[in-house]
Amino acid sequence: MCATCGCGETGGIRVQALAPHEHEHPHEHAHPPEHEHPPEHPHEPVPGTVEIETALLAKNDHLAGHNRGWLAERGIVALNLMSSPGSGKTSLLRRTITTLAPTRVVGVIEGDQETLIDAQKIRATGAPVVQINTGSGCHLDADMLARGLRELGPVDDSLVFIENVGNLVCPALFDLGEAAKVVVVSVTEGDDKPLKYPHMFAAADVVVINKIDLLPYLDVDLADLVAHCRAVNPAVRILPLSVTTGEGFDAWCEWLAADWSALRART
């Protein structure tokens, strides 16, 4: 059991690559090596909760370092998308993949507790996708990402989106080896989420504020939501947009293009 959040162990996760469409042409790719786990210390006393959590995160960070090195060697940029359920991560990915398809190879690793629903939506865009079902787990970790990368086999110099399990708590704590953390929040969630879940928004490199087309129908102030993001993370980049109407979407794509070299350097 995860000492950080109480979710199930990773042993029961399922990693599944969806078969490509008939018009796709799979290629052979180098696969990430199996992680070498740090040695155990059999003579240490049974630790308390704090020690277990510290050891868990330290082990995860060690594995994330392996992922980061493997991605860097191949010039692959991995972005970790996090949010609560229903914020529009999958819709954002679908529109992004379609927009970038002429200029950038994009792959996706989908994280959900159950089902292939989101992975099938991504597959319909023509992008290669791997589904990770975590069972009772509420977040992806570095070892899960390594398994996903082995199944996905991303090509060199490509972009990999990691759609994390919908949850505004635990995913913020687990480094996966990604180049940047992107938090997606919708205006339908209210303007107080950065204050209620500060660790998530403090960890973000970018906050995408989605569904701004619905603002006229909500008692939500966009300026307040932006201010609350900056209250916990003054340096965060904030991109308000609507996946549905396309308003503000160009700024998101421009960030992906303009910061490509910088993102590659961070892997």
Other Cβ atoms closer than 10 A to 33: 10
In the prediction, which pLDDT does 27 show? 47
DSSP 3-state of 78: strand
Is 136 part of a structural domain of the chain? Answer: yes
Is 174 part of a structural domain of the chain? Answer: yes
Is 29 part of a structural domain of the chain? Answer: no
Q: Which residue has the higher pLDDT, 220 or 15?
A: 220
In the prediction, which pLDDT does 46 show? 45
In the prediction, which pLDDT does 53 show? 62
Is 3 part of a structural domain of the chain? Answer: no
Structure tokens at 90: 């999958």
pLDDT one-digit tens code per residue, 8-66? 555 578 888 886 654 454 445 555 656 554 434 333 444 455 565 677 789 999 999 99
Is 28 part of a structural domain of the chain? Answer: no
How many domains are contained in the chain? 1
pLDDT one-digit tens code per residue, 130-175? 999 999 889 999 999 999 999 999 999 999 999 999 999 999 999 9
Is 30 part of a structural domain of the chain? Answer: no
pLDDT one-digit tens code per residue, 165-216? 999 999 999 999 999 999 999 999 999 999 999 999 999 999 999 999 999 9
Other Cβ atoms closer than 10 A to 47: 12
**CA 155 to the chain's CA centroid:** 19
Q: How far is CA 13 from CA 25, 56, 122, 137, 252, in A?
A: 28, 17, 20, 8, 32
In the prediction, which pLDDT does 5 show? 63
| Cα distance from N-terminal residue to C-terminal residue, the chain | 29
Full residue range of the structural domain in which residue 157 is found: 46-266
SS3 content of the chain, % helix, strand, coil (to 5): 40, 15, 45
Confidence of residue 247 (pLDDT cuts 50, 70, 90): very high
In the prediction, which pLDDT does 14 show? 86
In the prediction, which pLDDT does 40 show? 41
Say how far apart CA 84 and CA 238 lie, in whole Å: 17
Other Cβ atoms closer than 10 A to 199: 13
Confidence of residue 239 (pLDDT cuts 50, 70, 90): very high
Q: Which residues contact 101 (CB under 8 A, 6 or more apart)?
A: 125, 126, 127
Q: pTM for the complete prediction? A: 0.85
Classify each residue of 78-100 as buried b or exposed e, where b means 16 or more C-beta atoms within 10 Å of its C-beta. Answer: bbbbbbbeebbbbbbbbbbbebb
The domain that contains 231 carries what CATH number?
3.40.50.300
Residue with tokens 């959900």: 112
Q: Quick one: DSSP state of residue 132?
A: E
Is 103 part of a structural domain of the chain? Answer: yes
Is 32 part of a structural domain of the chain? Answer: no
pLDDT one-digit tens code per residue, 66-122? 999 999 999 999 999 999 999 999 999 999 999 999 999 999 999 999 999 999 999
In the prediction, which pLDDT does 57 show? 83
